[in-house]
Each structure stands twice: as C-alpha cells, then as structure tokens.
Amino acid sequence: MTRVLVVDDEPQIRRALSTNLRARGYDVELAESGEEALQLVVDRHPDVVVLDLGLPGVDGLEVVRSLRTWSRVPIVVLSVREAERDKVAALDAGADDYVTKPFGMSELLARLRAAVRRSAPAVDEPVVDTADFCVDLAAKQVRRHTPDGDVEVHLTPTEWSLLELLARRRGRLVSQADLLLEVWGPANERSSDHLRVHMAAIRRKLEPDPSRPRWLVTEPGMGYRFV
C-alpha cells in the first residue's frame, strides 16, 4: 500500500485530502508543521509527500531543502502562490511538482500517481546467499565462496534459468512440470532428462560435494528444492 504524508496547517485541507486518499486505498500520515513532517518522513518512510508551502514556523521551502539533503522521496508542493518565481524556487529546491490552490482533487491524485510511479520501480532484487555460494539475481551472477575469496562461477543460460527459478522460490518445492514449463516453455512435452542433466551441471559448479547435494535437493518423484 502506498503511504502518503500530507503536510498542511489547515485542518479542512488535511481532512479533505485524508478522506480522498484513504478512499482510494492510500495509507495516509498527517503533519501540521514542518518539524513534524521531517520527523514523520524519518519515522514512517512515506512513498510520497504532499507539502503545503504556507506553513507556520519552518517555511515549506526549508522543509523541501532539508528533505533533499538526505531523501529522494517525491514531493508534491501545494501552494496558494501562483507567481512563477515561487514555483521555480520550490522546484529548484527539489520539489517534484507544484500545484496551486485551489486545486482539483482528481488532478492532484493524478500527479501523485505520476510521482509515485516514477520513483517506484526501484525493485531491489534480492541476493540469495548460502554458506557455499551467492546468487545475485539482479546481476545474474553467481559467486562461489572459497578460502581465497569469492570466485565468479559461469553458468549457461539454461543453468541460470533453473537456478534463478529455484532461488526465487527458495524453501519451496518446485515441481518438474513447473521447471520444464518455465525454462523450456509451454510447447514442449519434454522429458525430465534435460532437468537431470542440467541440475547435475549446476551442482557440479556450486555444490561442495555434487553427488551429495546440500542446497539443491531432489525430492524424488516430485521436483527440486533450494534450501
């Protein structure tokens, strides 16, 4: 669920935004001041901040600048000021968008979606690490731990596909049908001969004792499991 931090000192705006956003499935945090906003960004890690420029106390612009010293969270600025130099100042301070009040709710929501969408796709692919080797799913790379440090292990495309699938579902049993389907595609009613050959190749490269697999376990008659 997307978390939005709404920063505004006017209660009715907070209420209006909060209601609208919650109705659309957002998780909403509210702040009334710049200080509170900065604290909540630290505590709750919102996915996007809606920030009124006209705050009492710390100026909204200062909030933007403070945030930008350490965070890249998208900031959509709200303001009654229409002057170009205000917009320029806010945007150059690090804001992502600038909406002047009064604003249409649907436009604001669309701009929020755009801001979140842009920053979202930072999908961090995990690195699966074992005592013997380490599978980096993002880099498509496998390193084997040795006394002299890590050594890169070269896998062929088929071997990588198999290992990747097992690593993504580590702990779970993956049936032979699933493996054949994902690696060789739907058309093939291939035999599981392939599976055996390629699994053996992976084990030879990664397992300390390939004939006694410790990580890539066979479940006879069912499939394979990465533990």
| Site residues for DNA per CB under 7 A | 154, 156-159, 176, 184, 190-194, 196-200, 203-204, 210-211, 213, 218, 220-222
Q: Could you tell me which residues come within 8 angstroms of residue 187 by beta carbon, excluding any fewer than 6 positions away?
A: none
Residue 88 CB, nearest distance to its own copies (Å)?
A: 4
Q: Could you tell me which residues come within 8 angstroms of residue 20 by beta carbon, excluding any fewer than 6 positions away?
A: 105, 109
**Total count of residues recorded for the chain:** 227
Q: Judged by CB under 8 A, does residue 106 bind its own copies?
A: yes
Q: Judged by CB under 8 A, does residue 154 bind its own copies?
A: yes
What does the alpha-carbon distance between residue 81 and residue 39 come to, in Å, rounded to a whole number? 26
What are the residue ranges of helices labelled H in 71-218? 84-93, 105-119, 157-168, 176-184, 193-206
Handedness of CA 196, 202, 203, 205 (dihedral sign): positive
Choose among 155, 156, 162, 157: nearest CA to 192: 162
**Residue 147 binds which one of DNA, its own copies, none, with CB within 5 to 8 A depending on kind?**
none
Residue 190 CB, nearest distance to DNA (Å)?
A: 6
Pair of tokens at residue 133 = 């080797």
Residue 199 CB, nearest distance to its own copies (Å)?
A: 18
Residue 152 CB, nearest distance to its own copies (Å)?
A: 9
- Residue from 29, 32, 47, 96 touching its own copies (CB under 8 A): that is 96
CB nearer to its own copies: give 56 or 102: 102
Which residue ranges make up the site for its own copies (CB under 8 A)?
Answer: 72, 84-85, 87-88, 91-92, 94-98, 104, 106-107, 109-111, 113-114, 117-119, 122, 138-141, 154, 156-157, 160, 171-173, 219-222, 225
